[in-house]
Amino acid sequence: MPMTATKTILIVDDDVELSDGLRVVLERQGFRVIQARDGVQGKQMVYQQRPDLVILDMMMPRMGGYPVLEHFKDKADAPPIIMITANEGSRHKAYAEYLGVIDYIRKPFAMERLLEAVERGLSRGQPSPQGSDAAKDEEE
């Protein structure tokens, strides 16, 4: 993989074991991985490092995932964000989706599930080869 094509993923999670495990798996897939331990650090790293995608935990000390999502909502240059959480509440999922997450994954999760979400999230930044849904509907 050429260096220019390497995508950067920011993992924002206070669970060191999980975060390091995700880092190893993602690096094996060819991604550059940077890490933050809370939302304050994560927000700063989005501006400083300009990651292509963020994997964000919901519950963390200092600043959790929701204030980070609220900060980046409606910002045109915000990276795609995947939220990971141990929380089961459907209201939490609905609020995260309202705030613009591209996926909401409950812990524990299969690594394949996360990798699929990462690939989807990274491809969202690319122009769609199929064009818009409206154009597809007109063709049928």
pTM: 0.85
Q: How confident is the model at residue 134 (pLDDT cuts 50, 70, 90)?
A: very low
Tell me the percentage of the chain whose pLDDT exceeds 70.
86
Tokens for 78?
A: 């915000």
Q: What is the pLDDT of residues 77-111, one digit of tens each?
A: 999 999 999 988 889 999 999 999 999 999 999 99
As a whole number of angstroms, the distance between CA 13 and CA 125 comes to 23
Tell me the percentage of the chain whose pLDDT exceeds 90.
79
Boundaries of every domain in the chain: 3-124
As a whole number of angstroms, the distance between CA 108 and CA 105 comes to 9
Topology given in CATH for the domain delimited by 3-124? Rossmann fold (3.40.50)
Full DSSP string of 13-76: -S-HHHHHHHHHHHHHTT-EEEEESSHHHHHHHHHHH--SEEEEES--SSS-HHHHHHHHTT-T
As a whole number of angstroms, the distance between CA 10 and CA 95 comes to 22
